[in-house]
Homo-oligomer: A and B are copies of this chain.
Amino acid sequence: MKATVTVMLRPGVLDPQGRAIAQALHALGFTGVAEVRAGKVIELDLDEADPTRARAQAEEMARRLLANTVIESFRVEIG
């Protein structure tokens, strides 16, 4: 089962990378972009056929290692 963990900076944490991307997009003429947020995505190949258990595992991994919950939040997608 494949699990995708997406990790984003929490709202309130300054995201200089997102801001830099927004500026660069504007400079390229993409003026219709408002906010940009940059984050990480981690794709996991899990040895687990049950989606519920796979999700629980991936969430546990995210909590323990993949995200730093002081600054980041995460979401998990399965399949």
Contact = CB atoms under 8 A, between A and B. Distances in A.
A71 interface: no
Interface residues of A, number: 31
A33 interface: yes
A45 B39 contact: no
Given A21-B65, A33-B61, 8 more contacts: A8-B41, A18-B43, A21-B66, A34-B46, A35-B44, A35-B45, A37-B43, A38-B40
25 contacts: A6-B41, A8-B41, A18-B42, A21-B66, A25-B61, A25-B65, A28-B64, A30-B61, A32-B46, A32-B47, A33-B44, A33-B45, A33-B46, A33-B47, A33-B61, A34-B46, A35-B45, A36-B42, A36-B44, A36-B45, A38-B40, A38-B42, A39-B41, A40-B40, A41-B41
